[in-house]
Amino acid sequence: MKPLNNGPFGMYRVARAAVALIQKLMFRVEYIGRDNVPADGSVLVCSNHQSNWDPVLLAIAIPKQRPLRFFAKKELFGVPVLKHILNRAGQIPVSRGEGDRQALRVVLQKLKENELISIFPEGTRSKDGTLGTAQAGVGFFALRSEAAVLPIAIIGRYKFRTKLKVVIGEPLDLTALKANKASAQEAADLIMERISELYIEHSRNVR
């Protein structure tokens, strides 16, 4: 594993430490399956999405030696101070609601460089907490790269001092899909199916 330096992820480490403290004050979070995170190589971190807090929990769930890159709305990079923070934290600008070829190229290149990319297969937040249908984009990245695909289920509602679970499953084996030249949507559906299985399996006794 390459040691984390003070390069583009210096701000990420600072932000991660700050939000970890806030998270401990706000919620009671149980992290399950952290040993399933690959120690090296590229990784697609795939999770259900219900809140703006989700990236915080994902960043904390993954070892700090393996910083996560997230997508952020391109408009945010137009705010001077925020642009500096987002760039220093290694975040990826993307135009929502349209094909963003530049973002696609950036993600594929970062995966070639053995980085970790967080992506929400549903594409948007769930308003009622139920799991939605996966968009083809996550399947595209999974099939077009050698990245490990790490399914994660975030379980519980974000209310003050409530119990939440972040369940990290074993990396998915997409060898058969790649050999059979499966579509991006087929791969996306498989990823979302595994997230759903983790969600159902670990949803008991969460209040």
pLDDT digits (tens, 9 = 90+) for 122-151: 988 888 889 999 999 999 999 999 999 999
Question: Could you give the residue ranges of the DSSP H alpha helices within 70-173?
Answer: 80-88, 101-112, 136-144
Do 174 and 190 meet the contact criterion of CB atoms below 8 Å apart? yes
Distance CA 24, CA 30 (A): 11
Do 64 and 34 meet the contact criterion of CB atoms below 8 Å apart? no
- pLDDT tens-place string over residues 20-36: 999 999 999 999 999 99
Tokens found for residue 170: 């074993």
**In the chain, which ranges are E strands?**
28-32, 43-47, 68-69, 71-73, 92-94, 116-119, 148-155, 163-168
Find the mean pLDDT for residues 62-73.
Answer: 84
Share of the chain above pLDDT 90, in %: 61
Do 6 and 54 meet the contact criterion of CB atoms below 8 Å apart? no
Share of the chain above pLDDT 70, in %: 82
Q: Per mean pLDDT, which range of 102-106, 145-149, 163-167 is the poorest?
A: 102-106
Find the mean pLDDT for residues 148-175.
Answer: 96
Return the number of other C-beta atoms located less than 10 Å from residue 153's C-beta: 25
What domains are defined for the chain? 10-201 (3.40.1130.10)
